[in-house]
């Protein structure tokens, strides 16, 4: 097959070269008189692309001043992909962000360092000629890959897992998009579910301990907390400098059913510095606050931070 393609390519190149040598006058005539016709061929309505990065750090030491670990290893992966569809008045944007990393050292063994999955999908239909105002529907889901533990106690206590918790949001609303790289979505009627699953492992397993669902404001008997409130989502994308792309999404949610004045926040950011057409340095950092999430051993909610730096492959299709 490869030989046939190579032979065909050589025949085409040879024919073009022969034509250009034998018909220079004809080529000049074509250049002067050619017309740029409208492209009526079917175009791909999808745009796909993203970044996949890996971070790796390995350290060994022996009697080094200030270093207590003789060996340590950190390994992580980071993904940031999109698949966007646009045709006529219909628009459908999809994004997947994820990162996962673990560390291993002599004194603590192996444990998870970061864990995050976020799926975001927005379908919209244009309501005006300029395509700046759309009626849209958003689906968003967030969870993590594997179990998380509280290592400050012995034995360690399980505090999270896949779909423990998970946050699912579904809402219609209006999407204002004055520029290609900026949009604001607003909905006064957004449904959200906070789920703590993995039954029967919703409990930590230690006698007398509270079920982990209570860490996330979920009734252990129901394992799902249904919420209804207002939702705002702001999306932004900008090339800060040449080959440095910044993307950001800020989500705000107010639960009408419980303390609506305490707004939940989720802010995800990604900075990609392209070294060449396929290699990039990527830094992804997330900030979250949920009024119902209370870390183990803490009184009241806490602002959550998660950052991940990696080097990897960037691609567009």
pLDDT, tens digit, for every residue of 230-287? 999 999 999 999 989 999 999 999 999 999 999 999 999 999 898 888 888 889 999 9
Q: What pLDDT, on a 0 to 100 scale, did the predictor assign at position 135?
A: 98
3-state secondary structure of 312: strand
Q: What pLDDT, on a 0 to 100 scale, did the predictor assign at position 298?
A: 65
Burial of 117 (0-12, 13-18, 19+ CB in 10 A): middle
| pLDDT tens readout for residues 150-188 | 888 777 888 889 999 999 999 999 999 999 899 999 999
Q: What pLDDT, on a 0 to 100 scale, did the predictor assign at position 23?
A: 44
CA distance 282 to 244: 10
Q: What pLDDT, on a 0 to 100 scale, did the predictor assign at position 32?
A: 42
CA distance 314 to 11: 35
Cis bond upstream, residue 277 (ω within 30): no
Contact assessment for residue 311 and residue 280, using Cβ atoms and an 8 Å cutoff: yes
Q: Assign residue 302 a region: left if phi > 0, alpha if psi is -120 to 50, beta otherwise?
A: beta
Q: What are phi and psi of 2, to 5 degrees?
A: -65, -40
| pLDDT tens readout for residues 110-139 | 899 899 999 999 999 999 999 999 999 999
CA distance 165 to 209: 18
Indicate the pTM of the whole model: 0.79
Choice between 294 and 93, residue whose per-residue pLDDT is larger = 93
> Per-residue pLDDT for 209 more than 80?
no
Q: What is the mean pLDDT of the chain?
A: 82
CA distance 66 to 69: 9
CA distance 95 to 85: 12
E strand or H helix at 30: helix 24-33
Q: Which residue has the tokens 């940031």?
A: 80
Any residues with CB less than 8 A from the CB of 151 and at least 6 apart, and which? 108, 111
CATH number of 48-316: 2.40.230
CA distance 123 to 141: 15
Q: What pLDDT, on a 0 to 100 scale, did the predictor assign at position 137?
A: 98
CA distance 141 to 164: 12
Q: What pLDDT, on a 0 to 100 scale, did the predictor assign at position 294?
A: 75
């Amino acid at each position: 097959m490869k030989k046939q393609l190579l032979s065909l390519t050589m025949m085409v190149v040879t024919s073009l070269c022969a034509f250009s040598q034998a018909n220079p006058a004809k080529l000049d005539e074509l250049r002067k008189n050619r017309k740029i016709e409208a492209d009526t061929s079917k175009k791909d309505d999808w745009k796909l692309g993203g970044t996949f990065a890996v971070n790796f750090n390995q350290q060994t030491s022996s009697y080094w001043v200030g270093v207590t670990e003789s060996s340590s290893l950190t390994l992580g992966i980071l993904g940031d992909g999109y698949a966007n569809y646009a045709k006529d008045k219909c628009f459908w944007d999809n994004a997947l962000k994820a990162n996962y990393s673990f560390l291993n050292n002599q004194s603590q063994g192996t444990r998870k360092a970061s864990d995050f999955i976020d799926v975001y999908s927005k379908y919209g239909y244009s309501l005006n000629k300029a395509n700046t105002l759309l009626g849209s529907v958003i689906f968003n889901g967030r969870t993590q890959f594997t179990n998380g533990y509280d290592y400050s106690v012995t034995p360690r206590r399980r505090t999270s897992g896949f779909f423990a918790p998970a946050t699912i949001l579904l809402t219609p609303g209006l999407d204002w998009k004055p520029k290609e790289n900026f949009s604001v979505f607003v909905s006064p009627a957004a449904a959200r579910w906070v789920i703590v699953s993995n039954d029967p492992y919703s409990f930590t397993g230690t006698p007398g301990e509270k079920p982990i669902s209570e860490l996330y404001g979920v009734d252990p008997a129901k394992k799902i907390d249904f919420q209804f409130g207002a939702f705002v989502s702001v999306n932004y994308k900008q090339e800060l400098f040449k080959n440095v792309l910044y993307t950001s999404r800020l989500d705000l949610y107010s639960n009408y059913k419980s303390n609506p004045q305490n707004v939940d926040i989720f802010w995800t950011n990604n900075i990609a510095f392209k070294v060449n057409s396929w290699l990039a340095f990527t830094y992804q950092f997330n900030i979250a606050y949920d009024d119902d999430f209370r870390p183990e051993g803490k009184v009241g909610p806490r602002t959550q931070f998660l950052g991940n730096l990696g080097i990897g492959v960037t691609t567009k299709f």
